[in-house]
């Protein structure tokens, strides 16, 4: 016990990357295979960095925290969306195929513009506490009390890191450009639960009470299955839908 598990013999990994540089008129999307000697505790972050440093310096991908908390490195790993930084190669077969997340604008190779998509979602769903008092807060006096369990429930929903895996895994999002995705619907439930947000159920309904929102979901459950933070996304959508029906 208390030892990092050992691997017997090093493998040579075949890492196949779907490549395309939209800024290069000559570029056509194609698969390129790189060979990498597997090392102990190697993650896809380490493997891809090594490819860029030693084999192809033009390879594009996004990593920031490399610790599974910032949501930058969502990619399709052997057909399933996931966070590349915390995916250990030892958990993958010898042949690994990597592709950019679908549904987002491609920047190049494995890099996609999740930031733009998420900002658009936030603006559209107004994912912030709406309160008349925010401009003239009294921050000298003791804060408003909140039930400890409620604070924990709110954090549970706020653990989302906007990585985009749920959108990439969503059938509706592939068909409807305007679908707000589980990430958006989860945020609605988060703010609806928050007593600091003064919006009414009817106002939330205005934001997501149609096919681009909560009624676009086909309950395929891809979002919840693929969420790296294991958020109860499908449950939240079901809850939201029931509440919308009641208020609608």
Partner 1 sequence: MQIIYTDVLVIGGGLAGQRAAIGAKRRGHDVIVLSLVPAKRSHSAAAQGGMQASLGNCFGASGDNEDIHFADTVRGSDWGADQEVVRMFTHTAPKAIRELAAWGVPWNRVARGDREITVDGKKHIISEPDAAHGLITSRNFGGTQKWRACYVSDGTGHAMLYTMSNQAIAANIPVHERMEALALIHSDGRCHGAIVRNLATGELLAYVARATCMATGGFGRIYRVSTNAIINEGMGAAIALETGVATLGNMEAIQFHPTGIFPAGILVTEGCRGDGGLLLDGRQHRFMPDYEPEKKELASRDVVSRRMEEHIAAGHGAHSRFGEHLWLDIRLLGADHINNKLREVKEICQYFLGIDPVSELIPVRPAQHYSMGGVRTDHRGESPQLRGLFAAGEAACWDMHGFNRLGGNSVAETVVAGMIVGDAMADFCDSQAGKLILSTALVDEFGQKQQRLLAGIANGNGSESAFELTRLMQETMTANVGIFRHRDRLEQAVSTLQELQQRARNIGLRSAAPGANPELVTAYRLQRMLKLAQCVAYGALQRTESRGAHYRADFPRRDDLNWMRRTLATWPDDEAGLPTLDYEALDIMRMELPPGWRGYGARDYIEHPQTSARQQQIDGILGDIPDADRHARQQALMPFRHLLPEHLRNNNERQGEEP
What residues numbered 55-84 form the site for partner 1, per CB under 8 A? 56-60, 62-72
- Residue 76 or 125 with smaller CB distance to partner 1: 125
Nearer to partner 1, 43 or 172 (CB): 43
Bridge-based pairing of strands 80-83 and 95-99 is unpaired
The answer to whether the beta carbons of residues 217 and 172 sit under 8 Å apart is yes
14: left (phi over 0), alpha (psi -120 to 50) or beta: beta
What residue ranges in the chain does DSSP mark as E strands? Answer: 12-19, 30-37, 74-77, 80-83, 95-99, 106-108, 111-112
Pairing of the two strands 12-19 and 74-77:
unpaired
Residues between 5 and 24 with contacts to partner 1, criterion CB under 8 A: 5-6, 21-24
Give the other-Cβ count within 10 Å of 15's Cβ.
22
Shortest approach of partner 1 to residue 186 CB, angstroms? 12
Tell me the C-alpha distance between 179 and 99, whole Å: 22
> Which residues ranging from 164 to 203 are in contact with partner 1 (CB under 8 A)?
194, 196-197
- The neighbour count for residue 239, using CB atoms within 10 Å, is 16
Among 128, 198, 202, 242, binds partner 1 (CB under 8 A): 128
Query: Does 122 participate in binding partner 1 (rule CB under 8 A)?
Result: yes
Q: Using CB under 8 A, which of 14, 102, 154, 232 touches partner 1?
A: 154
According to the binding rule CB under 8 A, does residue 145 interact with partner 1? yes
Of 31, 159, 218, 245, which one interacts with partner 1 (CB under 8 A)?
A: 159
Q: Pick from 9, 30, 143, 246 the residue near partner 1 by CB under 8 A.
A: 143
- Nearest Cα to Cα of residue 180 among 113, 137, 130, 127: 127
**Which three-class secondary structure state does DSSP give residue 147?**
coil
Q: To which H or E segment does residue 208 belong?
A: helix 201-208
Binding mask 80-119 for partner 1 (x = CB under 8 A): ------x-x------------------xx--x-xxxx-xx
Q: Report 222-241 residues binding partner 1 (CB under 8 A).
A: none
Task: Kindly state the smallest distance separating residue 82's Cβ from partner 1, in Å.
Answer: 11
Using CB under 8 A, pick the residue from 29, 31, 93, 131 that binds partner 1: 131
Q: Applying CB under 8 A, which of residues 10, 146, 220, 245 lies at the interface with partner 1?
A: 146
* CB-CB contact of 101 with 167 (8 Å): yes
């Amino acid at each position: 016990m208390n030892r990092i598990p050992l691997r017997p013999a090093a493998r040579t990994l075949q890492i196949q990357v779907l490549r395309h540089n939209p800024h290069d008129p000559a570029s056509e999307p194609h698969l390129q295979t790189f060979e990498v000697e597997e090392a102990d505790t190697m993650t896809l972050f380490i493997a891809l960095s090594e490819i860029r440093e030693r084999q192809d310096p033009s390879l594009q991908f996004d990593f920031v925290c490399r610790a599974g908390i910032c949501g930058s490195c969502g990619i399709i790993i052997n057909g399933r969306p996931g966070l590349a930084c915390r995916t250990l190669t030892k958990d993958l077969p010898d042949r690994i195929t990597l592709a950019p997340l679908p549904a987002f604008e491609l920047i190049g190779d494995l890099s996609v513009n999740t930031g733009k998509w998420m900002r658009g979602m936030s603006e559209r769903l107004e994912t912030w506490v709406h309160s008349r008092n925010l401009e003239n807060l009294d921050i000298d006096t003791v804060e408003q009390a909140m039930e400890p369990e409620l604070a924990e429930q709110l954090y549970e929903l706020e653990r989302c890191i906007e990585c985009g895996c749920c959108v990439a895994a969503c059938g509706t999002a592939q068909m409807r450009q305007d679908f707000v995705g589980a990430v958006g619907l989860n945020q609605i439930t988060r703010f609806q639960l928050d007593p600091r947000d003064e919006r009414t159920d009817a106002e939330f309904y205005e934001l997501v009470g149609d096919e681009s929102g909560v009624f676009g979901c086909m309950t395929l459950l891809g979002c919840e299955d693929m969420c790296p933070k294991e958020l109860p996304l499908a449950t939240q959508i079901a809850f939201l839908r029931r509440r919308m029906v009641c208020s609608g």
